[in-house]
Structure 1
């Protein structure tokens, strides 16, 4: 995987601090340059009164000075580690759009961004900047959870659904595995629901209905990923995002690499995608690749 330039959006929170530290970890390994980007979000307010205009200008000037000082501090944090770094401050009405526009202009090899890991109604209504960037960026996005305790890449998980995006994720994961002398693991989750006709028979697993299903899926997965080592191949059933999260926890995965499909419309808004949920809830960093241009 070619990583010469890493873009790190920062908002000076603990979430972005963790992302910055992980970006430094990657930059040290790849010899990459880091750009720290802060998006100044502009609010639409009625400031037609002269006194309001003057007050707004004073507040804006104070904010600008505070942001500049914080960016200088963050620059020092990175440069002290021997990593080449530059800072950018851009303005806009939406942080995610600012990040995506700058990424389109600068063309980094990777975006590393912190995620809040929120869930529930607040998360459902408001979403997060990280998830909006993941959904829309044609550039690979690596999300870092704020609770990450150590930085290492020894075990890599690739969830596989046999799509073109999965193929890209497999290639990327294999590249990273070579770069870090890590081991990639491959997981396929069968999500088909059991027909109500089987309820009275107390059948709880598709594998009970079709005993050969698991072996067929496992063979297909081995052929798709080009791996014969069965210890690195897993087929299970259930909700994909839950099974992926369970595997990450049980196997202590250091990095998950996922292919992401473009999603839009009501279905995506209400349900979200497997990648969205894994990005939000995974304890390990998640690298999302294969997003089509929007």
Structure 2
């Protein structure tokens, strides 16, 4: 039986939301706040960091002492596969949203891509 995992790396991959902004010529200046690219990046990274910090605190409260966090910018499946490839003897634990049909076709499945391409053992949990 393999030894238990002693270290935990809790990650969240993020990409900028695909949102288009436009401004009507009839709008007065300052009528709508349109964030810059840098502001969008900072807000998205902060959201990912805050999420990880909260989840890490929960795990530490449950006795997981050796835990680090990392936010990764890019496609979630690609970033997780890249990190797993650099981390020998890792277990990939994923939460799946259970999408199907058109939604899955449009959005894709991070879990499915990782299951198909990873050589690491995995733990797949259905989201509540």
The reply to whether TM is greater than 0.5 is yes
What is the aligned residue count?
A: 114
4+ runs deviating over 4 angstroms = 42-46
3-state secondary structure, aligned to 2:36: helix
CA contact (8 A) 1:110 1:140 kept: yes
* Mapping of residues 1-294 of structure 1, within 5 Å: 1-5=1-5, 32-42=6-16, 55-83=36-64, 84-92=66-74, 94-147=75-128
Give the structure-1-normalised TM-score: 0.35
Aligned to 2:27: none
Relative contact order, higher structure (CA 8 A, sep 6+): 2
CA contact (8 A) 1:4 1:33 kept: no
* Greater share of residues in helix: 1
Kindly state the Cα deviation for residue 60 of structure 1 after the two structures are TM-superposed.
1.7
CA contact (8 A) 1:40 1:95 kept: yes
Please give the alpha-carbon distance, in whole angstroms, between the structure 2 residues aligned to 1:112 and 1:105: 16
Please give the alpha-carbon distance, in whole angstroms, between the structure 2 residues aligned to 1:33 and 1:139: 16
Please give the alpha-carbon distance, in whole angstroms, between the structure 1 residues aligned to 2:127 and 2:3: 23
CA contact (8 A) 1:35 1:87 kept: yes
Structure 1 residues 118 and 101 mapped into 2: Cα distance closer, same or farther (>3 Å)? same
Please give the alpha-carbon distance, in whole angstroms, between the structure 2 residues aligned to 1:63 and 1:2: 38
> Unpaired runs of 5+ in structure 2?
21-34
CA contact (8 A) 2:14 2:44 kept: no
Structure 1 residues 118 and 44 mapped into 2: Cα distance closer, same or farther (>3 Å)? closer
Please give the alpha-carbon distance, in whole angstroms, between the structure 2 residues aligned to 1:127 and 1:105: 24
Give the structure-2-normalised TM-score: 0.74
